């Protein structure tokens, strides 16, 4: 479904990602892990069309996405949930969610999806007329994921959903993400460590100083 082939990403002269290759098949939950500052977010943004890549190519559903911008990709079901959430602070929870369904793709089933998001996160329903800026860290992350779901993704790329969450909320958050897979979504999940996720991911890539490598079970047990 997603195929990254030898992609290079630069910020100006700063070479962040070196010949990265990775593959995510339909229905899989794939993790990309690595320590802070090694380029995980950068690679994810390149996949989602938010930063350009230089060498190599990225294929989504068999098509090169080199010439496509984020807007087109969202319309094609490739949805990105940012590490820094990127909500609309002066809009209500519900307005934020409805904006997730801005494109035709999400709008077609917006009310069913909204219902689904509220079932998943009753907390968001309670706070639906509150401004996004007034939410707590955990609620903010729920809203970011909920907004992503409103776009009716086929592949959802989630950047460090556990970042900044209280420890008791992390397991909950990761369980919800596991449930996305059970519902048939393809997931590319970025995290700093395998903590709590290694039991349910299908494949693990490790990103070290901009270099991607497949992480096998042997390595997992070693660490």
Which positions touch Mg ion (CB under 5 A)?
Answer: 40-41, 83
Interface with ligand ADP (CB under 6 A), residue from 24, 34, 79, 97 = 34
Q: How far is the CB of 198 from other proteins (least distance, A)?
A: 28
Binder to ligand ADP among 4, 41, 53, 157 (CB under 6 A)?
41
Farthest-apart Cα atoms in the chain, separation = 49
**Strand-pair category, 78-81 with 57-60:** unpaired
Q: Say how far residue 49 (Cα) sits from the centre of its chain.
A: 13
Q: How do 2-11 and 14-24 pair as beta strands?
A: antiparallel
3-state secondary structure of 165: coil
Told to check if 37 binds ligand ADP by CB under 6 A, we report: yes
Q: Does 13 bind ligand ADP (CB under 6 A)?
A: no
User: In sequence order, which residues have a C-beta less than 8 Å from that of residue 182 and are 6 or more positions away?
Assistant: none
In terms of Cβ atoms closer than 10 Å to its own Cβ (0-12, 13-18, 19+), residue 175 is exposed
Q: Is 38 in the site for ligand ADP (CB under 6 A)?
A: yes
Spatial distance between the Cα atoms of 93 and 195, rounded to a whole number of angstroms: 30
Q: Which of ligand ADP, other proteins, Mg ion, none is residue 127 near (CB under 5 to 8 Å by kind)?
A: none
Q: Binds 91, which of ligand ADP, other proteins, Mg ion, none (CB < 5 to 8 A, cut-off by type)?
A: other proteins
Nearest approach in angstroms of CB 55 to other proteins is: 22
Under the binding rule (CB under 8 A), the answer on residue 79 touching other proteins is yes
Binding site for ligand ADP (CB under 6 A): 11, 14, 16, 34, 36-42
């Amino acid at each position: 479904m997603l195929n990254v082939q030898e992609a290079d990403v630069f910020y100006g002269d700063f070479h962040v990602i070196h010949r990265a290759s990775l593959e995510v098949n339909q229905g899989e939950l794939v993790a990309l892990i690595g320590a802070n500052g090694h380029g995980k977010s950068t690679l994810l943004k390149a996949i989602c069309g938010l930063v350009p890549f230089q060498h190599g190519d990225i294929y989504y559903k068999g098509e090169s996405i080199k010439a496509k911008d984020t807007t087109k990709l969202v319309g094609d079901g490739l949805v990105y949930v940012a590490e820094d959430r990127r909500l609309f602070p002066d809009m209500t929870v519900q307005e934020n969610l409805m904006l997730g369904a801005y494109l035709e793709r999400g709008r077609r089933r917006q009310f069913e999806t909204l219902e689904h998001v509220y079932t998943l996160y009753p907390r968001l329903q309670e706070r639906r007329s509150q401004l996004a800026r007034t939410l707590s860290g955990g609620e903010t992350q729920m809203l970011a994921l909920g907004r992503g779901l409103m776009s009716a993704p086929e592949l959802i790329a989630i950047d460090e959903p556990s970042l900044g969450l209280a420890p008791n909320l992390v397991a909950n958050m990761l369980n919800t993400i596991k449930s996305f897979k059970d519902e048939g979504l393809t997931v590319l999940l970025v995290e700093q460590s395998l903590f709590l996720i290694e039991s349910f991911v299908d494949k693990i890539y490790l990103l070290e100083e901009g270099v991607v490598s497949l992480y096998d079970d042997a390595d997992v047990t070693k660490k």
